Amino acid sequence: MTDRTTAALGTLGLPATDLRALPDSRRTFPDGAHYRIEIPSTEGPSGLSAVLEEAERLDVPVTRISQGSGVFMCTDGELDDIARVSAHAGIEASLFARPNAGWSASAMARSTVGPLVAPVAHGADQLAAVMDDVFRAADHGIRSVLIEDIGVLSVFGALRRAGQLPADMQAKVSVMLPVANPASARVVADLGASTINLPTDLTLSEIAAIRAVVDVPLDVYVECPDNLGGFMRYHEIPELIRVAAPVYLKFGLRGTADPYPAGTHLTAQLVGFARERVRRARLGLDLLERSLGGDLIWRTSRPGAAGLAVPLMPAAVGGSGALVSH
Predicted confidence at residue 326, as pLDDT, reads 30
Predicted confidence at residue 275, as pLDDT, reads 97
What are the C-alpha distances in Å from 300 to residues 30, 93, 282? Answer: 11, 18, 13
Nearest C-alpha neighbor of 221 from the set 66, 46, 54: 66
Phi, psi dihedral angles at 313 (to 5 degrees): -60, 135
pLDDT averaged per 10 residues in sequence order, the chain, 326 residues: 93 96 97 97 95 98 96 96 97 95 78 75 92 97 97 97 97 95 98 97 98 98 92 96 98 87 87 96 96 82 97 71 43
Instruction: Render pLDDT for 112-153 as a digit per residue (tens, 0 to 9).
Output: 777 767 778 889 999 999 999 999 999 999 999 999 999 999
DSSP 101: G
Instruction: Render pLDDT for 274-311 as a digit per residue (tens, 0 to 9).
Output: 999 999 999 999 999 999 876 678 999 999 999 999 99
- Give strand ranges (E) for the chain: 35-39, 62-67, 92-96, 144-147, 170-173, 195-197, 218-223, 247-251
* Angle value at C-alpha 181, between 178 and 184, nearest 5 degrees: 65
Boundaries of every domain in the chain: 36-102+113-316
Torsion of Cα atoms, 83 then 87 then 92 then 93, to 10°: -10
Instruction: Give start and end residues of each alpha helix (H) in 245-298.
Output: 267-291
Predicted confidence at residue 325, as pLDDT, reads 35
Predicted confidence at residue 315, as pLDDT, reads 67
Predicted confidence at residue 324, as pLDDT, reads 44
- Long-range CB contacts (< 8 A, 24+ apart) of 118-125? 118/176, 119/148, 119/149, 119/174, 119/176, 119/177, 120/148, 120/149, 121/149, 121/151, 121/152
The interaxial angle of helices 237-244 and 267-291, nearest 10 deg, is 80
Write out the H or E segment, with its range, that includes residue 237: helix 237-244
Q: Which residues contact 232 (CB under 8 A, 6 or more apart)?
A: 222, 223, 254
Neighbouring C-alpha atoms within 13 Å toward the C-beta of 138: 23
Report cis status (omega within 30 of 0) of the bond before 261.
yes
CB burial readout 45-84, b (16+ within 10 A) else e: bbbbbbbbebbeebebbbbbbbbbbbbbbbeeebbbbbbb
CATH architecture of 36-102+113-316: Alpha-Beta Barrel (3.20)
Instruction: Give start and end residues of each alpha helix (H) in 73-118.
Output: 76-89, 114-117
